[in-house]
Protein backbone atom coordinates (compact mmCIF):
# COMPACT_ATOMS: atom_id res chain seq x y z
CA UNK A 1 0.00 0.00 0.00
CA UNK A 2 1.08 3.59 -0.60
CA UNK A 3 0.09 6.83 1.10
CA UNK A 4 1.40 10.28 1.89
CA UNK A 5 3.26 10.65 5.14
CA UNK A 6 0.93 13.13 6.80
CA UNK A 7 -2.09 12.92 9.08
CA UNK A 8 -4.45 11.85 6.28
CA UNK A 9 -1.95 9.23 5.12
CA UNK A 10 -1.76 7.70 8.60
CA UNK A 11 -5.55 7.39 8.63
CA UNK A 12 -5.50 5.64 5.24
CA UNK A 13 -2.78 3.19 6.29
CA UNK A 14 -4.45 2.42 9.61
CA UNK A 15 -7.81 1.78 7.92
CA UNK A 16 -6.26 -0.51 5.33
CA UNK A 17 -4.36 -2.41 8.02
CA UNK A 18 -7.55 -2.76 10.09
CA UNK A 19 -9.11 -4.87 7.33
CA UNK A 20 -5.90 -6.29 5.87
CA UNK A 21 -3.39 -6.61 8.72
CA UNK A 22 -0.88 -8.44 6.52
CA UNK A 23 -0.75 -5.53 4.04
CA UNK A 24 2.78 -4.30 3.50
CA UNK A 25 3.52 -0.62 3.18
CA UNK A 26 5.63 0.44 0.22
CA UNK A 27 8.38 2.80 1.38
CA UNK A 28 6.10 4.01 4.16
CA UNK A 29 8.67 3.96 6.91
CA UNK A 30 10.92 6.17 8.99
CA UNK A 31 13.96 5.35 6.84
CA UNK A 32 12.32 6.74 3.69
CA UNK A 33 10.94 9.73 5.56
CA UNK A 34 14.30 10.44 7.16
CA UNK A 35 16.21 10.02 3.91
CA UNK A 36 14.09 12.60 2.15
CA UNK A 37 13.17 14.90 5.04
CA UNK A 38 15.61 14.39 7.93
CA UNK A 39 18.83 12.65 8.88
CA UNK A 40 17.60 9.56 10.74
CA UNK A 41 17.49 5.87 9.81
CA UNK A 42 15.11 3.30 11.32
CA UNK A 43 16.21 -0.30 11.84
CA UNK A 44 12.93 -1.52 13.39
CA UNK A 45 11.96 -4.86 11.77
CA UNK A 46 8.30 -5.14 12.91
CA UNK A 47 5.69 -3.55 10.60
CA UNK A 48 3.48 -2.26 13.43
CA UNK A 49 6.50 -0.86 15.28
CA UNK A 50 7.71 0.79 12.06
CA UNK A 51 4.36 2.52 11.59
CA UNK A 52 4.30 3.65 15.21
CA UNK A 53 7.85 4.95 14.91
CA UNK A 54 7.04 6.77 11.66
CA UNK A 55 4.02 8.41 13.29
CA UNK A 56 6.17 9.56 16.23
CA UNK A 57 8.85 10.91 13.89
CA UNK A 58 6.26 12.76 11.81
CA UNK A 59 4.68 14.22 14.96
CA UNK A 60 8.08 15.62 15.97
CA UNK A 61 8.91 17.21 12.62
CA UNK A 62 5.53 17.81 10.92
CA UNK A 63 7.15 17.67 7.48
CA UNK A 64 4.76 15.93 5.07
CA UNK A 65 6.15 13.55 2.46
CA UNK A 66 3.80 13.12 -0.49
CA UNK A 67 4.01 9.90 -2.42
CA UNK A 68 4.57 11.82 -5.68
CA UNK A 69 8.03 12.62 -4.31
CA UNK A 70 8.80 8.89 -4.54
CA UNK A 71 7.68 8.47 -8.16
CA UNK A 72 11.19 7.62 -9.41
CA UNK A 73 11.58 4.97 -6.69
CA UNK A 74 8.13 3.55 -7.49
CA UNK A 75 8.95 3.22 -11.17
CA UNK A 76 12.33 1.66 -10.32
CA UNK A 77 10.77 -0.84 -7.93
CA UNK A 78 8.11 -1.75 -10.50
CA UNK A 79 10.78 -2.28 -13.16
CA UNK A 80 12.71 -4.59 -10.82
CA UNK A 81 9.55 -6.59 -10.04
CA UNK A 82 8.78 -6.87 -13.74
CA UNK A 83 12.29 -8.20 -14.48
CA UNK A 84 12.16 -10.63 -11.55
CA UNK A 85 8.70 -11.81 -12.57
CA UNK A 86 9.83 -12.37 -16.15
CA UNK A 87 12.72 -14.53 -14.93
CA UNK A 88 10.49 -16.93 -12.96
User: Does residue 54 carry a pLDDT above 70?
Assistant: yes
Q: How many CB atoms lie within 10 A of CB 49?
A: 11
The per-residue pLDDT for range 16-47, each reduced to its tens digit, is 999 999 988 887 777 777 766 655 555 556 77
Question: Is the pTM value of this prediction over 0.85?
Answer: no
Strand partners, 65: 5
DSSP string, 4-44: -BSHHHHHHHHHHHHH-TTPPPSS-SHHHHHHHHSS-----
**Which of these, 17, 38, 19, 41, lies nearest to 29 by C-alpha position?**
41
Confidence of residue 88 (pLDDT cuts 50, 70, 90): low
Amino acid sequence: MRADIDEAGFVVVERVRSVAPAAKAWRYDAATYAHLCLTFVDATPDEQAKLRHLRELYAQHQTPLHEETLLDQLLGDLAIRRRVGAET
